[in-house]
Amino acid sequence: MSAALQGRHSFDDFSLVENGAIAGRYLAQFWQPIGLSREHKPGTAKRIKMLGNFYTLYRGQDGQINLVQDRCPHRGTSLAYGWVEGNSIRCRYHGWKFSGDGRGEEFPAETQSYARSMCLKVYPVQEYLGVIFGFFGEGEAPAFLRFPELEDESAGELLTLAVVLPYNYFQRIENDVDEVHIHYTHGEFAGSFGLVDIPRITARETEYGLVSIAARADGSKLFTHAFMPNIMLRDVVIQQDRDNLTIHAAWRVPIDDTSTLSVMIDRVAKPDPTMHQKLKEMTDPNELSARIMAGEMSLDDVDQNHPLLPVIQDTVCMAGQGIIADRKSEHLGASDRAIGLLRRIWAREMNALQEGQPLKEWRRSGEGKLVTSEAAVAAE
C-alpha cells in the first residue's frame, strides 16, 4: 500500500457511499446521471435510488423533468407511486399535491393554513444528450461539464445506454483506466481492431482528473481520460460498430454500496441498423452474468452477438473481485500505474474533504476535443 493510503484512510473510503460516508459526500458535489430521457415519458413518475438515497423523478405532462424528495411529507410513502398532474405530483396515499418547484398545492383533508407550511425538497435536474442529470449536493450546483467530443453530430449516431451493475462503483472506475484487461476480458474485440500487443501504461494527473496512455509496439497510443470523480472518455470498439473506434463516455454512479448505475453515451460512426431492436430483445446481461458466476454456464456460452457482451464480460471479472472488492490482498504491477494514480488522487481528496481543506477544482479549459487516440506512425 502506498504511503498516501496508509493511516487515516482505508480503501473503504473510496467504495462506501451510504449513510453520509465520505465518498458519497464527495460524489454528491458533482452532477450525476440518473436515467435516460427516453425512458421517462410525460406524465410518469419513477422512484430512483442514488448514493444510497431514494428520490422521485417525474416528467410533467408539459415534458419538464422534475427531481424531488421521495417521501411524502405527510406520512412518508413514496411520491413516485402517485399521479402526475400537469407539472405537479399528487401522493397516492391521501392526495397531497405539490408543484415541480416543491410548493404545496392541495391538501384535501387539511386546512389551508396547515397546508401552506408544507413543501418538498427539490433537486436541480437537467437533460443533456438524451441523459437526465441530477445534483444531490448541498448549496448551488456546479457548472455542468459538457463534452464536445459527444456533441459532434458529424461523428455518428448518438447511442445512450443505462445498465445497473451488481457490484461496487469503484471497481468500475478502476477498470476504466485498466487497458490491459481489454486483451483478455474482451480479447475478440481487441483482436478484431488490431490491438494485438499488450500496451505499456503510463498515467499523469490533469486539470480534469487523469489521463492513462496505452502505448503499443507499433507506435499507436490510446488515451483514456478519467474525469474526476467518476467519468471516463475514450475510444472503444463496440458490438454495434465493429469496424470503427467509437467515442465513448461513461459515468459510474453508485446506486448504493453494492450496485452501480453505468450510463454510457457513444457516438457510433456506422451503427448496426438492427442495434435498437437487438437491445430491446436481448437477454438481461445481469441474468447471464449471474448464471456464469453461479457456474451454470461459461462466458464462452454467451451469444457472441449479444449487444452488451462487453458488459457481461466486465461484470463477471469485476463482480468476481467481490461485490465490494477486498483490495488488501492485491499485488499491483507496472500495468496498474493508472489505478495507483487514481487511488492516490482519491485518497488526497478524501483527506482534504474530511479535514475541511480545499479540494482540487476539476475543470477542462478550452472548447476543444481531447485527443483519444494516435495512430501508429508509418515506417519510412
Instruction: Out of 93, 128, 193, 223, name the contact with ligand FES by CB under 6 A.
Output: 93
Q: Is 98 in the site for ligand FES (CB under 6 A)?
A: no
User: Which of Fe ion, ligand FES, none binds 77 (CB below 5-8 Å, type-dependent)?
Assistant: ligand FES
Site for ligand FES in 235-294 (CB under 6 A): none
- Provide the mask over 295-334, with x wherever binding to Fe ion is found by CB under 5 A and - wherever it is not: -------------------x--------------------
Residue matched to cell numbers 454495434: 240
How far apart, in Å, do the first and last CA atoms of the chain sit? 45
Q: Which is nearer to ligand FES, 96 or 133 (CB)?
A: 96
Instruction: Out of 96, 147, 169, 251, name the contact with ligand FES by CB under 6 A.
Output: 96
Q: Give the burial class of 250: count Cβ atoms within 10 A of its Cβ; 0-12 exposed, 13-18 middle, 19 or more buried.
A: buried
> What is 118-170 written as a DSSP string?
-B--EE-EEEETTEEEE--SSSSPPPPPP-HHHH-GGG-EEEEEEEEESS-HH
Cα–Cα dist 80/143, whole Å = 28
- Provide the mask over 13-52, with x wherever binding to ligand FES is found by CB under 6 A and - wherever it is not: ----------------------------------------
User: Which of ligand FES, Fe ion, none binds 103 (CB below 5-8 Å, type-dependent)?
Assistant: none
Instruction: Out of 25, 49, 94, 291, name the contact with ligand FES by CB under 6 A.
Output: 94
From 86-94, 241-249, 360-368, 372-380, span contacting ligand FES (CB under 6 A): 86-94
Q: Which of 173, 145, 114, 160 has the alpha carbon at shortest distance from 29?
A: 145
Q: 33 near 67, Cβ under 8 Å?
A: no
Q: Is 91 in the site for ligand FES (CB under 6 A)?
A: yes
Dig out the grid coordinates for 156 from the structure.
Answer: 455518428
- Provide the mask over 55-74, with x wherever binding to ligand FES is found by CB under 6 A and - wherever it is not: -----------------x-x
User: In the complex, what is the shortest distance from the CB of residue 314 to ligand FES, in angstroms, rounded to a whole number?
Assistant: 41
Cα–Cα dist 97/92, whole Å = 10
User: Which of ligand FES, Fe ion, none binds 75 (CB below 5-8 Å, type-dependent)?
Assistant: ligand FES
Q: Which of 237, 235, 239, 236 has the alpha carbon at shortest distance from 309?
A: 239
DSSP secondary-structure letter at 103? B
Q: Is 336 in the site for Fe ion (CB under 5 A)?
A: no
Cα–Cα dist 304/217, whole Å = 29
CA 304 to chain centre: 25
User: In the complex, what is the shortest distance from the CB of residue 355 to ligand FES, in angstroms, rounded to a whole number?
Assistant: 41
Instruction: Out of 37, 64, 77, 258, name the contact with ligand FES by CB under 6 A.
Output: 77
Cα–Cα dist 110/118, whole Å = 11
Q: Is 75 in the site for ligand FES (CB under 6 A)?
A: yes
Compute the half-sphere exposure of residue 334: CA atoms within 13 Å on the CB side of its CA.
5
Site for Fe ion in 253-272 (CB under 5 A): none
User: Which of ligand FES, Fe ion, none binds 314 (CB below 5-8 Å, type-dependent)?
Assistant: Fe ion
Cα–Cα dist 83/95, whole Å = 9
User: In the complex, what is the shortest distance from the CB of residue 115 to ligand FES, in angstroms, rounded to a whole number?
Assistant: 11
Q: 289 near 302, Cβ under 8 Å?
A: no
User: In the complex, what is the shortest distance from the CB of residue 84 to ligand FES, in angstroms, rounded to a whole number?
Assistant: 15
Q: Which residues bind ligand FES (CB under 6 A)?
A: 72, 74-75, 77, 91, 93-96
Q: Which residues bind Fe ion (CB under 5 A)?
A: 314
